[in-house]
Structure 1
């Protein structure tokens, strides 16, 4: 869970340089805060985010690397 005492802290949102700048790119942005990683849709940054702890983040990355998260 995101600690609400960090509200107002500027987040450094990042996305992969491989995503390019095109409008047709499906991409997420991530930001680290405390011990959590925040993930949001780069096309809708105000549309909400998911909060992952370090264990969930590593599992998420493993699924991507293994191709499990590939929706195509």
Structure 2
């Protein structure tokens, strides 16, 4: 998987946020500080709606 961090990631190492990876039909999400602890995956359309909501309701 190709994990990406947010451009808003803070901290000296940039490791104080979540990372995402695009799968075929889902988006995988993990904690950048503890990547081995596990991942959450949700349907890609639901993730898109979630991000759009965050953009309009900070």
TM interval, shorter chain, is: 0.7 to 0.9
- Conservation of the 8 A alpha-carbon contact between 2:5 and 2:17: yes
- The root-mean-square deviation of aligned C-alpha atoms, in Å, is 2.2
Q: Which has the higher strand share?
A: 2
Structure 2 length-normalised TM? 0.76
Return 5+ residue gaps in structure 1 as ranges: 1-10
Number of residue-to-residue matches in the alignment: 58
- The answer to whether 1:49 aligns with 2:39 is yes
- Unaligned runs of 5+ residues in structure 2 are none
- 1:19 partner SS: coil
Please give the residue correspondences for 1:29-44 in structure 2 after superposition, counting only pairs within 5 Å.
Answer: 29-44=19-34
- Runs of 4+ in structure 1 deviating by more than 3 angstroms, as ranges, are 23-26
Worse-superposed segment, 45-54 or 14-23: 14-23
Q: Quote the residue 1:3 is aligned against.
A: none
Alignment TM-score, normalising by the size of structure 1: 0.64
Find the structure with the greater CA-based Rg. Answer: 1
